[in-house]
Amino acid sequence: MDFNKVIFFRNDDAGMYSTEPVSPELINLTNLFLEEKIPISHGVVPAVVSRETVEWLRDVKSKYPHLIGIDQHGYAHRKYERGEFGGNRGYQEQKMEISAGLSFMKEKFGLDFSYCFTAPWVKYNRDTKLICNELGYKIFSGGVSPKLHARIFNNLGRILNLTVLGSKEVSYHRRNHFGQNGFSVAEVSVSIDVTENYQEKFLKSNELIFHRYKKCKRYFNVIGFMLHHWVFDSQIKLNHMKTLLTELKQDSDISFKLLEDVPDVIKG
């Protein structure tokens, strides 16, 4: 059966990289998506997010429940060996932090919390996924590439039912089924990063983004865009994103969804 393509936008780092109580870049990027009537899912960093940001997110979610998602983005966004999770970080150490983050999200956001977990730096190991599975998350979001070598690597890893093969994460983001054997948590991952250089806060050209997008459409029924609001620190960059959204809306083959809604739309 042929499915329409689904696009979701995952904005990481909500609560970080701002001296203001609520990041102006977070507000401005959100307002752009609201104006375009396109859903955006915000990944909140539990250990660092301000009370004001929590209140702002809850307020905007109450006004636009189908356009705003509230996800958990790791715990404190600390970088260890490879990322916040994965590498040599063990089960107990990871579970303590993920559980603390989950408790925070449930307490502060209640029913507004999506039960989606996004991995900082897209780094994790089997224990990370196992913990998310045990704690009842609905979605685990990492990263997936449409390139040939990545598709071969992921297919091999899936055949072996591995979460990590060698030193690299295996993606279980598929065309229309997002499960790993032994896990009930679905993996719905991003495959297009709109940022070219994080240190310089440079965005990729829309031409480059669309080249990647067309390749993703060949292999994925769900295409995730990864955003970081703090990169959008000028009206020029917001206009750049607006142009991208306008062009995407011309594609009659797609619909826009929150990360949390993807598995309910695309059935295996």
- Condensed to tens digits (0 to 9), the pLDDT of residues 54-80 reads 999 999 999 999 999 999 999 999 999
Task: Tell me phi and psi for residue 210, to 5 degrees.
Answer: -70, -30
Contact assessment for residue 236 and residue 21, using Cβ atoms and an 8 Å cutoff: no
pLDDT-derived band at 2 (thresholds 50, 70, 90) equals: very low
Query: Average pLDDT over the chain, rounded to whole?
Result: 95
Contact assessment for residue 248 and residue 7, using Cβ atoms and an 8 Å cutoff: yes
155 pLDDT above the threshold of 90: yes
Q: Write down the pTM of the prediction.
A: 0.95
Calculate what percentage of the chain has a pLDDT beyond 70. Answer: 98
Which residues 6+ apart lie within 8 Å of 55 measured at CB? Answer: none
199 pLDDT above the threshold of 80: yes
Residue 113, CA distances (Å) to 55, 71, 251 in order? 13, 6, 30
Instruction: Note the pLDDT of residue 177.
Output: 86
pLDDT-derived band at 1 (thresholds 50, 70, 90) equals: very low
Residue of 22, 28, 66 whose CA lies nearest to 44: 22
Domains and CATH numbers, the chain: 5-265 (3.20.20.370)
Instruction: Note the pLDDT of residue 75.
Output: 98
101 pLDDT above the threshold of 80: yes
Contact assessment for residue 262 and residue 6, using Cβ atoms and an 8 Å cutoff: yes
Q: What is the mean pLDDT of residues 215-239?
A: 97
d(CA 58, CA 63): 9
